[in-house]
Amino acid sequence: MRYRTRTAIAVAAVGATALGAGTAHAAPANITFRVEGPTSTLYEGKVTTDGHDVTTPTGGTHKCDGTNNGFSPVPVPVGTAALDDAAKLSGFGFDGTWFPSFEDFVIDEIAGIRPVFPEFWGLYVNQKASTAGGCQMALGTGDEALWSVVQSGPAPDFLPQSALRLTGPTEARVGQPITVRVVEGEQGAPQAGATVAGATTGPDGTATFSFAEKGIYRVKAEKAGAVRSAALTICVDPAGVEPCVSADAAAPTVAFRMPGSLASELGRSRTFAIWWQADDGQGSGASRYAVDVREVASGAAGAQDEWRTLHASTPLTAVHYRGDSGATYEFRVTAIDRALNRSQHALARVSVPIDDRDRRLLTVSKRGWRQVRRPQAWGRTVIRSRRDGATVKVRFAGRQVALLGRRLAGGGRMRVSVDGRSKVVRVRGRSADRTVLFRSAELRPGTHTLRVRALGKVEIDAVAPTP
């Protein structure tokens, strides 16, 4: 396993910022995530994660996106949200107590393990003990987040134990000696006396060993009083064959991991991220992905564009895409493991809403509405009705349409009609931004008209047709 250098992380972060220019939503990060129990590794894998609300049995539901306690000005991926994502992926539970004073959870239990002080669940980012809470410390693509049962050190510092970092070759030949190196994560000091694949490291932190049989080996460094390292996956093959091929004939699997199919469920602008997750079981590991896109035509016959290649081969498990207002896109991703086995395609659709500012598509009667800036809204603005009877009209092609907005404490009602069939929707109450306030029945293919008439105070953010 080659650890990403700081430079690589910085480049990835700059890339994401450039792609997301003009948006401030939490772009998901591709991280390595681990849970290290007292005697074994409970979870280890890639997780694509973003900051989001987290619910625990003891603590309830709270935001967990780096803005906690004012740490980050914008939502970012964080360690406790990653824990939540990994828990959902692999079905383990966790619990935490919420502390309003610092707006964060203290993690009490993961996968049934509830340590007792002076042991506790500690968070490490890139093998360094986290200096902020699990809903505060920002993560970026290429980072490693790790929860481990650790022992608190002596007063007054209570510094927890250090986490080990293991580096070495990821390919080897049967019987050929390889050398690995173990350091601790805070200062990078070599660690003597750590065990790796049955060998023990010397004063320079290195150990040398070989494998007598072909196979795929996952080795970790362990040492008393330190957090065990991430696995180094080593493909061991006979001489003369391509790496990993002799022991990995099984294709990986891949699935998209987005929370919804409207771009407004993925972010706040037409530049949205799609992300996926691969699993290669005990194989060599998915290492590359091929990603294609096509536009799904609205209306008649569902004709579709040809697939276009977004990435022929990327190591990332998320990409940004800028779509057109009112359009729907289909994405397909294929995972490729280190032995070049290819997964079957995973497919996902994303529909891009039409913003309230898009006057080419949205006809708003003059003076009936006023535009209001709202940072969490789609396109960062909404329109609010100024009087009863204010109307909005949009012509769209598709088989269904959703109206996005927000319930308001003093909210009224609105009459929503599609092709003349109308329904009254109440919007009094509370809701998050970009909530689906109304969704039409399925319509015949073709062009339709949606009309909204305000009865009292209402707020409209965007309209999302789907094919």
- Which residues of the chain form contacts with Ca ion (CB under 5 A)? 248, 250, 280, 283, 337, 341, 355-356, 377-379, 381, 461-462
Whichever of 380 and 426 has its CB closer to Ca ion, that residue is 380
Q: How far is the CB of 403 from Ca ion (least distance, A)?
A: 12
Whichever of 159 and 249 has its CB closer to Ca ion, that residue is 249
Amino acid at 239: A
DSSP 8-class letter at 267? -
Q: Nearest to residue 105, comparing CAs of 137, 149, 75?
A: 137
* C-beta nearest to Ca ion: residue: 283
- State whether residue 7 is helix, strand or coil: helix
Amino acid at 124: Y
Whichever of 401 and 443 has its CB closer to Ca ion, that residue is 401
Whichever of 189 and 250 has its CB closer to Ca ion, that residue is 250
Q: How far is the CB of 339 from Ca ion (least distance, A)?
A: 6
Q: How far is the CB of 275 from Ca ion (least distance, A)?
A: 21
Quick one: residue 10, left, alpha or beta (phi over 0 = left, psi -120 to 50 = alpha)? alpha
Q: How far is the CB of 393 from Ca ion (least distance, A)?
A: 16
Q: How far is the CB of 343 from Ca ion (least distance, A)?
A: 9
Whichever of 36 and 461 has its CB closer to Ca ion, that residue is 461
Q: How far is the CB of 179 from Ca ion (least distance, A)?
A: 26
How far is residue 103's CA from residue 262's CA, in Å, rounded to a whole number? Answer: 30
Q: How far is the CB of 438 from Ca ion (least distance, A)?
A: 15
Per residue in 226-263, is it b (16+ CB within 10 Å) or e — as a string? bbbbbbbbbbbbeeeeebbbbbbeebbebebbbeeebb
The beta strand positions in 133-210, using DSSP E, are 144-151, 164-167, 171-173, 178-184, 195-196, 199-200, 206-209
Sign of CA dihedral 64, 70, 76, 79: negative
The CA–CA distances, whole Å, from 260 to 275, 398, 410 equal 11, 18, 29
Whichever of 83 and 463 has its CB closer to Ca ion, that residue is 463
- State whether residue 459 is helix, strand or coil: strand
Sign of CA dihedral 364, 367, 373, 377: negative
Q: Nearest to residue 403, comparing CAs of 349, 466, 344?
A: 466
Q: How far is the CB of 340 from Ca ion (least distance, A)?
A: 9
Q: Strands 413-418, 435-439: parallel, antiparallel or unpaired by DSSP?
A: unpaired
Q: How far is the CB of 184 from Ca ion (least distance, A)?
A: 32
Task: Report the 10 Å Cβ neighbour count for 408.
Answer: 17
Whichever of 310 and 362 has its CB closer to Ca ion, that residue is 362
Q: Nearest to residue 168, comparing CAs of 179, 156, 176?
A: 179
Whichever of 123 and 286 has its CB closer to Ca ion, that residue is 286
CB 382 within 8 A of CB 427: no
Whichever of 71 and 378 has its CB closer to Ca ion, that residue is 378
